Each structure stands twice: as C-alpha cells, then as structure tokens.
Amino acid sequence: MNTNRPRKFLSLYSLFAGAATLVALLLASSEGYAYNYRTCSGNKIKYNGGWTNMYISTTSFPIGSSWDSRLQNAMWHWNNVKGAGFNFYVGRDTDGTHSSGNGVNEVYFDSSLSGSTLAVTSTRYHCYWFFGYQQGIDETDIGFNSNYSWTTSAYSYSNPSGSPINFEGVALHELGHALGLLHEDRWLATMNAYYPDGGPLGYYKEWDPFGDDRLGVRTLYPDGTTETDIAASPLKWIGTGSSGLVSSPTSATPGSAVTIEFTFSNQSTSTQTFDIGFYLSSDAYISTSDTFLGMNYGSWGSPGFTGTFSRTLTIPSWISPGTYYLGFKVDPNNFTGESVESNNFQQMPRTITIYSPIIAPPPVGILTR
Ligand SMILES: [Zn+2]
C-alpha cells in the first residue's frame, strides 16, 4: 500500500453570524520564514488563551491503552517545547460520537476517511472585523483513518514510509495542526505533509517536534523561556516534503573508505556550535566507547535549522570481519548542557558488514611424477 501521500487538511471556516457591523473580512494564507500558520489581516490565528482541551475518544483509544499513552506523549512533547507556552490538556470523550461544530475538540478513529488520507485535523476558526480584527481557533477535531494499519510500537527503519503507520508520529503531526501550524514541506519537519513527516529522533526513536516546528509554536505562543538541544535523526528531506532514510554502505573491507549521510536538528532557542563524532559500533547503541572514526569540529546551526550532510570515514584496517553499525554522536564530549541528551546519538538505519580483504588463493600445486 502506498502510504506516501499527503494527508488532507480541512479548513472549516466559521463566521460568527449576525454581526451587522461586519465591514471587512480578510483571509490570507501565511508564508512565514519556514513554518506556516493562518493569519487574519496579519494577526496569528491561534488558541488565544494559549491552551486547549483535547477530548480523547475512549471507544477509539481506551483509557490506559498504548494508544492513549502515545497520544498523551505527543501532547506532552508539544507542551514541553521551551520558548513556547502552549499547553494541551487531556479530556475524555466517552459517548462514542464526534462532530465538528460542537465546540469540543475530539480525537478518534474515523472509518469514513478515504484511503489516501492517514488522518485529518478539522479546524474551525474565526476572522472578522468588529472595531478591530477578531481572530482565533474555536475547535479542532482529529480523526485517524481506521482503514489503515496502525502501530503503537517503535518506528521501524525496515519499512520507513509504509504500513503499519506509526500512531505517535502521526499524532504529533496532527496535534501540530490542532495548535495552529500548517504544512511545511521544504524541510525535514514534523509538519511535513508526507508520512513519516520528520520521523523519530535518535537511538530511542523519540517523536519530538523538529527545530522548525519548534520555531513555529514559539512564534504562535511565545513565552520567553529557553532550551538548548541538538538532536540526531536517521532521516533526510528528499524533496516535496517527503523524507527518507539517510544513506550508508551495507558492506566494506578493513582499511577502505565509506561515506555516510547524517542529519541533525537544532531544537534550541539559540544558535549552537558543537562537534560531531563518528563511530563504528558492534551494536546499534552508538557511544564514545565505540571505535572512533573521526570528528567534525565546530558544526553549528541557527535555531530551527535541520540539515543533512555527508562524511567520508575510513574503516580501520584492524577491524575484524563481522556485522557493525556506523553512527554519530553530536556533542560527544558533552561540552553543551542540553535539555535532552538521549537524542544525541544515532546509528545508521542499517548494518554494515565488514568482509575480510580478498586474499588470493594459494597457487595450486602441480604434482608431476
Ligand atoms: Zn498535515
């Protein structure tokens, strides 16, 4: 099943009727520096109170189930973005029904969505003039297409854009819509229109808004707090919003050169400069105790920057044949105190087999008698 398709996004415009003094109405799409959001005569359309309740359908996502915890985890990750003061709060929708226009934000599985749509966030908002522009989000409902196969397990590198679809990853994306962000297809980002969007970060495969997404929520809901974090990713932007795995070789011989791609995102509220170490490891967990292959000194990124680069490394000649992981770690010597240190290291999303150098077979003896 081809799941590499954009998710449809419904914009349901709701107008407060009966305002006789409605003299002007302007809807404009926003083109921000990177991230996108709606505007009303230049004003940001958002939850004006800086928070909202999301009512989780208990028939779709039973209380205490892995679905429930993945949803709440995705909400927490948006709430946890520093420099932004937005908060999702958890409510329960127990009646098994949902509707747009009831003033309640509902989250549910929807069997009526078409096959090409993974999930839909329906947003009701207002924008009108009444002695000044009045704007804000009124309601956001999130429906996940139950015709797809979903998983609450960890993201799989072996099927990076296919079924089963990672529920937490899509939830993080849809919740980004719910708080007011639109698609941003020019970078590797959670708000990419194409699954797996930005993808998960680091060895632990954590679904966290990327640098650009963080800039977006900070712009909508600034609160002046700060954070410092550089995150590693196994994915890269491959055009038109879609993302794919970084490349790396699957085999090499001792002493040979290999080239890998690597991606990092500056999650911070400020520009960061840091080193990046490259390693060969006997397992997927990349650390400074693995075989050191090289260092990029003085890498840097402005807030919101996410980039993919390549690095050529030499496999040491003394390495024994076997199966290994190439990988990297940002700020390997912990010069930078980060809010999240567990997303700094990333193995390549596939193994590399080191073969013995080809040794010419011994000459065949010719026996004469
Ligand atoms: Zn979307």
- The string of pLDDT tens digits covering residues 161-219 is 999 999 999 999 999 999 999 999 998 999 999 999 999 999 999 999 999 999 999 99
Of the candidate ranges 6-10, 147-151, 159-163, the one whose mean pLDDT is the lowest = 6-10
Q: How far is the CA of 193 from the centre of ligand 1 (A)?
A: 5
Q: How far is the CA of 356 from the centre of ligand 1 (A)?
A: 48
Residue 65 domain-assigned (yes or no): yes
Q: How far is the CA of 83 from the centre of ligand 1 (A)?
A: 23
- The string of pLDDT tens digits covering residues 328-349 is 999 999 999 999 999 999 999 9
Residue 215 CA to residue 47 CA, distance in Å, equals: 17
CATH number at 274 reads 2.60.40.10
Q: How far is the CA of 181 from the centre of ligand 1 (A)?
A: 9
pLDDT mean over 28-51: 81
Q: Do 310 and 264 reside in the same domain of the chain?
A: yes
- The string of pLDDT tens digits covering residues 300-339 is 999 999 999 999 999 999 999 999 999 999 999 999 999 9
Number of Cβ within 10 Å of residue 43's Cβ equals 14
Q: Do 208 and 322 reside in the same domain of the chain?
A: no
User: What global pTM score does this model have?
Assistant: 0.88
Q: Do 72 and 200 reside in the same domain of the chain?
A: yes
Residue 276 domain-assigned (yes or no): yes
Q: Do 187 and 317 reside in the same domain of the chain?
A: no
Q: How far is the CA of 182 from the centre of ligand 1 (A)?
A: 7
- The string of pLDDT tens digits covering residues 53-81 is 999 999 999 999 999 999 999 999 999 99
pLDDT band for position 365 (cuts 50, 70, 90): low
Residue ending a domain, among 196, 220, 244, is: 220
Q: Do 190 and 242 reside in the same domain of the chain?
A: no
Residue ending a domain, among 173, 193, 220, is: 220
- Residue 155 pLDDT > 90, yes or no? yes
Q: Do 304 and 196 reside in the same domain of the chain?
A: no
Which residues lie below 8 Å from residue 29, measured CB to CB, with a gap of 6+? 36, 38, 39, 182
CA distances from 24 to 40, 83, 98, 133, 140 (A): 11, 34, 33, 9, 25
- Count of structural domains within the chain: 2
Q: How far is the CA of 315 from the centre of ligand 1 (A)?
A: 41
Q: Do 181 and 262 reside in the same domain of the chain?
A: no
Residue 361, pLDDT score: 61
Q: Choose among 353, 348, 327: nearest CA to 256.
A: 353
Q: Do 214 and 235 reside in the same domain of the chain?
A: no
CA distances from 307 to 83, 258, 300, 341 (A): 22, 20, 10, 19
Q: Do 71 and 206 reside in the same domain of the chain?
A: yes
DSSP string, 143-197: EEETTS-EE-S---TTSTTSSSEEHHHHHHHHHHHHTTEE---SSS-TT-SBTTT
Q: How far is the CA of 106 from the centre of ligand 1 (A)?
A: 17
Q: Do 158 and 234 reside in the same domain of the chain?
A: no
- How many H helices and E strands in the chain? 3, 23
Q: Do 201 and 234 reside in the same domain of the chain?
A: no
pLDDT band for position 17 (cuts 50, 70, 90): very low
Residue 315, pLDDT score: 98
Residue ending a domain, among 165, 200, 220, is: 220
Residue 4 domain-assigned (yes or no): no
Residue 2 domain-assigned (yes or no): no
pLDDT mean over 137-166: 96
Q: Do 322 and 240 reside in the same domain of the chain?
A: yes
Residue 367 domain-assigned (yes or no): no
Number of Cβ within 10 Å of residue 106's Cβ equals 23
Type of residue found at 190: T
Q: How far is the CA of 161 from the centre of ligand 1 (A)?
A: 15
Q: Choose among 141, 231, 139, 147: nearest CA to 189.
A: 231
Q: How far is the CA of 264 from the centre of ligand 1 (A)?
A: 22
Residue 178 CA to residue 137 CA, distance in Å, equals: 9
Both tokens assigned to 105:
């934000």
Domain holding 25, by residue range, is 10-220
